Amino acid sequence: MSSFLQQVINGLSIGSVYALMAVGYSLVYSIMNFSNFAHGGVIMLGAYIGLYALSLLSLPFVAALVVAAFGAGLIAVVLEKIAYSPLRRRNAPGLYFIISAMGASIFLENFVVATIGPTFRTYPQIFDSKPFMIGDIALGRIDVLMFVISAISLGILMFIIEKTKVGLAIRATSYSAKGSAFMGVNVDWIIFVIFILGGMLAGVAGMLFGMRYTVYPQIGIITNKSFIAAVFGGLGSLPGAVVGSILLGLIETFASVAGYSTYRDLIAFALLILILVVRPTGLMGKATEDKA
Amino acid sequence: MFSWYYISGILILTGINLLTVLGLSLLTGFTGLFSFGHAGFMAIGAYTAATMTMQFHMPLLLALLLGGVVSMLVSLIIGRLTLNLKGDYFCIATLGFGEATRLILDNVQYFGGSRGLPGIPTYENNEYLAIVVFINVLAIVAMVFLIRSRHGRNMVAIREEELASQAIGINVFRYKITSLAISALYAGVAGGLMAHYLGYIQPIMFQLIKSTELTIIVIFGGLGSITGSVIGAIVLTFLPEVLRTFFQWRLVVYGAAVILIMITRPQGLMGGKELNLKAIWRWVKRRRGGAENDSSAIS
């Protein structure tokens, strides 16, 4: 029983980091209706910024986290200005956005390979590796930290979306960009906000992920799984992204426990196809229709 | 530095890329479906063909064909399941298919798992180049005939306006799945060619980035243009090879170039036009005719 609980907690902690990444995909999808594959690159850069903030600038942990968040947010916004904004002005079809995003992700990944190098880097040890003990359940400090920080960040995001004026505008724009533009919503500003929010969460997620595992340029391949989680929950739905991520985290953890760890990624991608076949809009996604 | 051995090697690689790109051009450029999973079809063809020549000592051409056919059969299943998805979701599903194929191969010990399959029979470069050129010529001719036929025009109609083509009685699903199956056949044969050129295959060769690269070549050449795909495949295979000394920066430039194409000239190099003798003649005539019109306007 205790080992079961232990695995649940492991699943929750990795699932919560997936959730931080997945809401970035979902935020962009809800407003701009395309899958932002460059998001993995932003997460990767966030991990590197966090790493250097800790090791080179020797900032305290919380300060490094803030630096990683703002750095990644800035990168996401610049990326939007360069790679998507011109397409937006021309009303280009959604698939052009995806290809531009793929280009951006190739660019970011290989830019890091060419400048920083392809080697794996590890974060300096800032936390005691000795786990907390609650009864006979051992909780890794980093696992607990991952869960707590993710929960706080997602809480802040939900507050912004649900309670503030900007959040109201974001929700309105996700229903109808044209309609809300008529009602005086500055869509450019909304897009700026969602990219900076998604980017900041990506920075936090990248740093947490890097601390738990390692940092390397191809980290984006792993973050693709958070995209699967977003599809699982329903692209464009924030609660869906969170639920999908937690479920994916739990499924992966239990697959590893059951001895299928080599099949872990395969399970994620098989799940992706299965969802698309059975219920393409995911658990709570918004349905799209082709209009003539 | 540029010995014939080196150049013929690049030509073979160009031919292999071109074959896949031709198929993908039918799917993306003429039917309007984007795929991020064609490396998966290449992988299926490569592993099938390699197994056929290694285990069953089949002749090369037969093994290649079989690789293509198996890949086509898989595409029929995938298409059946996913072609009804709207918009982005089909392309996400192909992405899932491509990655899943790679991960399955990673775990199948019969195919060597992630270490891959070594010891595939290879051929002398010139002889192999002849085979590659032969298959490509065949593939291009077949593709041109297909696109100029009624079926090809129906596919273009689906690309332009899916709902309207359904309304005038085109069986949209059937044409989409045919298009996918033919593109998978091309990719499968290309995969087999790749296996028998390199002599070994590994699942990592068929990653998402390979699929992306193929789609990028099609877009670079221009959607809905076969000559565009040919030029695209040649330029985008030669350029990275020539730039190999800047190995690390090569893909950085590549990524930046993709964004640049998308934001400046998304219709690609050829933009739906074909380059053939007729087009050149028409262009020359128009230049001359235009000049005459101008002079008449002045007088």
Q: Give the integer Cα–Cα distance in Å for A211 and A65.
A: 11
CB contact under 8 A, B88 and A98: yes
Could you say which residues from 261 to 280 on chain A have a Cβ atom under 8 Å away from some Cβ of chain B?
262-263, 265-266, 269-270, 272-273, 276-277, 280
- Establish if B53 belongs to a structural domain: yes
Structure tokens at A146: 């991952």
Give mean pLDDT, residues B223-237: 88
Give mean pLDDT, residues B157-169: 89
Structure tokens at A83: 């790679």
Task: Pick A183 or A125 by higher pLDDT.
Answer: A183
How confident is the model over A107-143, as pLDDT tens digits? 999 899 888 888 888 888 877 777 777 777 777 788 8
Cβ atoms of A45 and A112 within 8 Å: the answer is: yes
- Establish if B281 belongs to a structural domain: no
Q: How confident is the model at residue A287 (pLDDT cuts 50, 70, 90)?
A: low
Could you say which residues from 154 to 173 on chain B have a Cβ atom under 8 Å away from some Cβ of chain A?
161-164
User: Which residues from B are below 8 Å from A108, CB to CB?
Assistant: 255
Task: Pick A66 or A262 by higher pLDDT.
Answer: A66
- Establish if B282 belongs to a structural domain: no
How confident is the model over B164-181, as pLDDT tens digits? 999 999 999 999 999 999
User: Which residues from B are below 8 Å from A277, CB to CB?
Assistant: 81-82, 93
How confident is the model over B121-136, as pLDDT tens digits? 888 888 999 999 999 9
Backbone angles phi, psi at A134, to 5 degrees: -120, 110
In sequence order, the 6+-apart residues with CB closer than 8 A to the CB of B6 are none
pLDDT at B202: 92
CB contact under 8 A, B88 and A269: no
ipTM above 0.85, yes or no: no
Give mean pLDDT, residues B3-10: 86
Backbone angles phi, psi at A224, to 5 degrees: -55, -30
How confident is the model over B58-70, as pLDDT tens digits? 899 999 999 999 9
Please name the residue of chain B whose CA is at the shortest distance from the CA of residue A112.
B252
**Nearest chain B CA: its distance from A18 CA (Å):** 18
Query: Is the CB of residue B108 less than 8 Å away from at least one CB of chain A?
Result: no
Q: How confident is the model at residue B87 (pLDDT cuts 50, 70, 90)?
A: low
Total domains in chain B come to: 1
Structure tokens at B50: 């390699």
pLDDT at B295: 43
Q: How confident is the model at residue B296 (pLDDT cuts 50, 70, 90)?
A: very low
Rounded to the nearest integer, the mean pLDDT of chain A is 86
| Whether residue B196 has pLDDT greater than 70 | yes
Query: Is the CB of residue B211 less than 8 Å away from at least one CB of chain A?
Result: no
Q: What is the DSSP letter of A288?
A: -
pLDDT at B13: 92
How confident is the model over A271-280, as pLDDT tens digits? 888 888 888 7
In sequence order, the 6+-apart residues with CB closer than 8 A to the CB of B139 are B19, B22, B23, B186, B189
Q: Where are the beta strands (DSSP E) in B216-263?
A: none
pLDDT at B159: 87
For the entire predicted model, the pTM comes to 0.84
Q: pLDDT above 70 covers what percent of chain A?
A: 97
| Whether residue A259 has pLDDT greater than 80 | no
| Whether residue B84 has pLDDT greater than 60 | yes
Q: Which domain does B119 fall in, by range? A: 4-272
CB contact under 8 A, A114 and B252: yes
Q: Give the integer Cα–Cα distance in Å for B67 and B54.
A: 13
Q: Is the dihedral of CA B116, B120, B126, B132 positive or negative?
A: negative
| Whether residue A1 has pLDDT greater than 70 | no
Cβ atoms of B216 and B46 within 8 Å: the answer is: no
Cβ atoms of A286 and A237 within 8 Å: the answer is: yes
pLDDT at B272: 66
Rounded to the nearest integer, the mean pLDDT of chain B is 87
- Establish if B194 belongs to a structural domain: yes
- Establish if B92 belongs to a structural domain: yes
Q: Is B251 exposed, middle or buried (0-12, 13-18, 19+ CB in 10 A)?
A: buried
User: Which residues from B are below 8 Å from A265, CB to CB?
Assistant: 99, 103
Give mean pLDDT, residues B44-52: 95
Please provide the DSSP assignment of A21-49 as one string. Answer: HHHHHHHHHHHH-S--TTHHHHHHHHHHH
